Amino acid sequence: MTTTIFYSSAVLLLIISFFKDRAKTQKALKKAWNSFLKLIPAIVPMVLFVGIALTLVSPEIISRLLGESSGLLGIFAGATLGSIAMMPSFVAFPLGQNLLNNGAAYPQVAVFIATLMAVGISTLSIEVKYFGRKFTLLRNIFALVASFIFAFLIGVIL
Amino acid sequence: MKSFINTYRFSLVFLMIILFMALINLSLATNALGIAFDNILTMLGVIPPIFILIGLLDVWVPKETMIRYMGDSSGLVGLFFAFLLGALAAGPLYAAFPVAAILLKKGARFAYVLFFLGTWTSAKIPLLLFEMTSLGVHFTLIHVSSMLVMYFIGSVLIEKALQPHEKKAILLRLNTI
């Protein structure tokens, strides 16, 4: 779905751009290709790392770690796992539902989902490449704190 | 060769770990590679078109336009565009970085770009219904509203924490990418 939208809008705009100005369009494609090439050395290790991490820590292990009586420790486990793991949202949401059905508690799953989407330890090297250390560190720490507050709210309200 | 090893040193270490996993239990290694492969497929679904869109934005949108709509004095309009860009997209976090980079490069305000990243990581409109059906309406509403409020505050705080020379350094760095 997302893929279709992204690809069709890219192709459509490329065609429009091509008819308006050939040279500019070529320049745009060249820029796109160059940034893609530069990203590859950062993507390959990230993907391998996430593959290893998610193999060693299976969904069953995760739901046990985030169980109803796991308390504060479960919150920290959820935050750690969420910060390290990387998966698309359309995989993460059903996984969260699955964890809840398997006996995980709401705040623990909340912090896991929130950090999964907002905190990226596996992608730190890419983020630093773009924005430098301080920006990256501040953004991730803030996202982590926000995720904890969100989990607290879920615990209080739900 | 030496630079190749240097560039891919982490990849080589991880490949060695996977090899080691294969020696213990072959299914562990195939599982890890399978997850890695899935992630690469997801990536190919979003990264190439995003880079093409960024390339087009780079050549077609002049700096003045970006400054007018998302620059330091764009006010609520800038905030609105930051929200819109983040909420309409539905890619993983790392796909947002190059987009944030081009926004900064073209003169968007740091706080708006940070808010864009925050929206991207918490309030994706295309995925809202999906989140509601998986995790519940209340969960989703609390998630989206609390994160947006916090990111709004956080964006301003982080922008304040960055010194002018640090912002300049980031912009210089982006120009080399």
Contacts of B41 (CB under 8 A, 6+ apart): none
Whether residue B67 is found in the same domain as residue B34: no
Whether residue B77 is found in the same domain as residue B162: yes
Beta-bridge mates of residue A104: A67
ipTM: 0.89
Q: Identify whether B137 is part of a domain.
A: yes
Give per-residue pLDDT as tens, A17-69.
Answer: 999 999 999 999 999 999 898 888 888 998 899 899 889 888 778 888 898 88
Q: Identify whether B20 is part of a domain.
A: yes
Whether residue B104 is found in the same domain as residue B69: yes
Whether residue B106 is found in the same domain as residue B136: yes
Helix (H) or strand (E) segment spanning residue A120: none
Residue whose structure tokens are 């982490």: B10
Q: Identify whether B126 is part of a domain.
A: yes
Q: In a 10 Å sphere around its CB, with 0-12 CB exposed, 13-18 middle and 19+ buried, how is residue A102 labelled?
A: middle
Return the percent helix, strand and coil in chain A, to nearest 5. 85, 0, 15
Give the separation between CA A107 and CA B130, rounded to whole angstroms: 19
The pLDDT, as a whole number, for residue A67 is: 87
Domain that holds residue B41: 1-47
The pLDDT, as a whole number, for residue B3 is: 82
The pLDDT, as a whole number, for residue A98 is: 87
Give the separation between CA B161 and CA A136, rounded to whole angstroms: 12
Give per-residue pLDDT as tens, B79-125.
Answer: 999 999 999 877 788 889 999 999 999 999 999 999 999 999 998 88
Among A78-82, A88-92, B146-150, the least confident range: A88-92
Whether residue B96 is found in the same domain as residue B11: no
Q: Identify whether B70 is part of a domain.
A: yes
- Nearest-Cα distance to chain A for B74, in Å, is 22
In chain B, the percentage of residues whose pLDDT exceeds 90 is 77
CB B104 within 8 A of CB A135: no
Interface size between A and B, measured as CB pairs under 8 A: 234
Whether residue B72 is found in the same domain as residue B158: yes
Name the band, by pLDDT with cuts 50, 70 and 90, for residue B1: low
The pLDDT, as a whole number, for residue B126 is: 81
Q: Which of residues 89-108 of A touch B (CB under 8 A)?
A: 89-90, 93-94, 96-97, 100, 106
Give per-residue pLDDT as tens, A114-139.
Answer: 999 999 999 999 999 999 999 999 99
Q: What's the angle, vertex CA A40, arms to CA B20 and CA B124, rounded to 5?
A: 100
Whether residue B100 is found in the same domain as residue B71: yes
Q: DSSP of A35-80, one letter per residue?
A: HHHHHHHHHHHHHHHHHHHHHHS-HHHHHHHTBTT-HHHHHHHHHH
Whether residue B108 is found in the same domain as residue B29: no
Beta-bridge mates of residue A67: A104
Number of domains in chain B: 2
Note whether A71 contacts B: Cβ–Cβ < 8 A: no
